[in-house]
Amino acid sequence: MDYQKILNIAVIAHVDAGKSTLVDAFLSQSHVFRENEEVVDCVMDSNDIERERGITIYSKNCSVNYKDYKINIVDTPGHADFSSEVERIIKTVDTVILLVDSAEGPMPQTRFVLQKSLEAGLKPILLINKVDKRDARPVEVIDLVYDLFIDLNATDEQLDFPILYGIAREGIVRKALDDTNTDIAPLFETILSHTQPFPNKIDEPLQMQVSALAYDDYIGRLGIGRIYSGTLKEASQITVCDEDGKVKKCKVNQIFVYRGLSRVAVSEAQCGEIVMISGISDIGIGETLCSNDAVNPLPSIKIEEPTLSMNFMVNSSPFAGKSGKYITSRNIRERLEKELEVNVGLKVEDTGSTDSFKVSGRGELHLSILLENMRREGYEVAVSKPEVIFHRENGQILEPIEEVVCSVPTEYSGSVISKLNLRKGMMVNIVDEGSYSRVEYMVPTRGLLGYRSEFINDTRGEGTMVRRLAGYEPHKGDIPQRTNGALVSTEAGNAMTYALWNIQERGQLFITPQTDVYEGMIIGRAAKDLDMDVNPIKNKKMTAVRSSGADEAMKLVPAKILSLEEALEFINDDELVELTPDSIRLRKKYLTPNERKQQMRLSARVQDEN
């Protein structure tokens, strides 16, 4: 086959820096879309949850043609929970476009993705995005990026990076702030001048490494990776080497490449290309595909260990089975096994109970995305409070520590600092940025569980908090848990306005009138630090006597309807989140007061014996 010049690039940045928007500009200005085609914003964020939350969860590929080059573009996640996706993608690309917000500057996640790129020997291109912001400070941000490169031990060659300025939302990239062009041509030209195309190794033996997995209901498991040398042909016999050095003979069925946003079947693909292959049902991350007569495996890819776990259980509430299609432990097991096919950062273990599975992931968001997907697919499941996974080294218990950067209005910074100190955090830096303060902390992951909603309340919704896993340190001791108790229903039925009007004086409600409740269901947050049993279905007694105006005064404070993440943050060890296709409920593990008292006595006895 004729050799084609191929360049593979990844767009890397922290959350909300404009990665997906920049990829939109790449596609639209490369004439990937037809003139009459309706184009949505962030076209690469194709998953429903990605669209709703405005974040990238799964890395995705597309391609554009520019001059005589084919450029494969990978849009990567910016959230720390999906960092394992970023790590593997870095190994398949020739260069990265580092996107940095012109006002925020480098964030913790920027550091992580850049570090992986520099370690892989890539020479990044810096794009200062959102230069049209009122508080843009591009010159200062460039200095901060230089400091970051030096801090990460960049080579002299890597430090000599090109700098571009962009407004990705408008599809504009410029070489200088005072340029007037209105397209992204300078970015294309910089990519071509700054990066060498993949060398021509067509005549060498086949060598391809799998860096990501996908699943198709019709053709099964798919391996995605880059061909490093040789040519891969459909229906060809190859040798697969795993990380333990084991080899097996396999057959590749179909080969797909990306043209624009489409996955296209081809008869063969050359070195340098990112391809998707079918036919190997047990293919795994890091495995190398080689020619049968030249077996030469590439170094294996290390997958980051999970940091959080929670138990997924069969829903046992009185409302179980009312709205879900999949409600048995067999259904849940099959769904988790299917998720393991593609979600390599996930780990599933059996527990002592047949109705419960221990699921471990890279963070709260990582696990909550899985739960949200399951809920939308028709599954019912109950989940326990997230728990941090500890490591043991040389007889010492180590726990995960996160780097936290908070940007908060200065008037609220005292409250944030106080709360993070209570949670065993250690301040690293504080910078005054006019009306805002930038606070940097190292905090145990345990201390951050349940803190996000508190942070939003403490900063009146004006603060931003970005986190990333920094490493493991010795156990930091006890950390205070939730300080408020729960309002627990003692009855089953429909919640009444009259009852909720009386209950709201005792705390914050999570439900509205006419919500179905059951005994043991949590309907709100108590104002005190003790659980309170309440009756939400009690109605006003009907009498013939009515005093004028008495009913009109019954006004309810708007209820706080918890999202899935907020529900997971709220619960304590003795509580569960119940997920069904039509609702998210909170409940006690033991529904009746007698069961709860019995369990408390049992726990106290076990502690005394220990």
**How far is 484 from 453, CA to CA, in rounded Å?**
14
Residue 133 is classified by DSSP as S
Check residue 202 and report its DSSP letter.
Answer: T
- CA atoms of 185 and 243, how far apart (whole Å): 42
User: What is the rounded CA–CA span in Å between residue 482 and residue 570?
Assistant: 7
Integer Cα distance of 61 and 44 in angstroms: 8
Confirm or deny that 18 is annotated as ligand binding: yes
Distances (CA, A) of 364 to 187, 287, 361, 388, 401: 36, 29, 8, 10, 15
132 annotated to a ligand binding site: yes
Residue 273 · residue 227 · CB < 8 Å = yes
Q: Alpha-carbon distance 391 to 401, whole Å?
A: 12
Rounded Cα distance, 487 and 513, in Å:
15
- Is 15 annotated as a binding-site member? no
Chain centroid, CA 603 distance in Å: 35
Q: Would the annotation count 76 as a binding residue?
A: no
Contact 79, 49 (CB under 8 A): no
Q: Which two tokens stand for residue 521?
A: 């269901």
**Exposure pattern of 85-108 as b/e (b: 16+ CB <10 Å)?**
bbbbbbbbbbbbbbbbbbbbbbbb
∠ CA 249-255-257 to the nearest 5 degrees? 140
Contact status, residue 430 vs residue 404, Cβ threshold 8 Å? no
Long-range pairs for 46-50: beta carbons < 8 A, 24 or more residues apart = 48/376, 49/369, 49/372, 49/373
Bridge partners (DSSP) of residue 7 are 71
Q: E strands of 106-149, at which residues?
A: 125-129
Among 25, 83, 30, 33, residue whose Cα is nearest residue 59: 83
16 is in an annotated binding site: yes
129 is annotated as contributing to ligand binding: yes
Q: Is 8 annotated as a binding residue?
A: no
Are 207 and 230 spatial neighbours (Cβ–Cβ below 8 Å)? yes
131 is in an annotated binding site: yes
Q: How far is CA 131 from CA 78, 146, 166, 170, 249, in A?
A: 20, 18, 6, 11, 53
Copy the structure tokens of residue 542.
Answer: 């009907």
Crossing angle for the helix pair 138-151 and 108-119, to the nearest 10 degrees: 50
C-beta neighbour count of 265 within 10 angstroms:
11
Q: How far apart are CA 254 and CA 266, in angstroms?
A: 8
Q: Is 160 annotated as a binding residue?
A: no
Q: How far is CA 513 from CA 495, 526, 578, in A?
A: 5, 18, 20
Binding residues for GTP: 16-21, 129-132
Binding residues: 16-21, 129-132
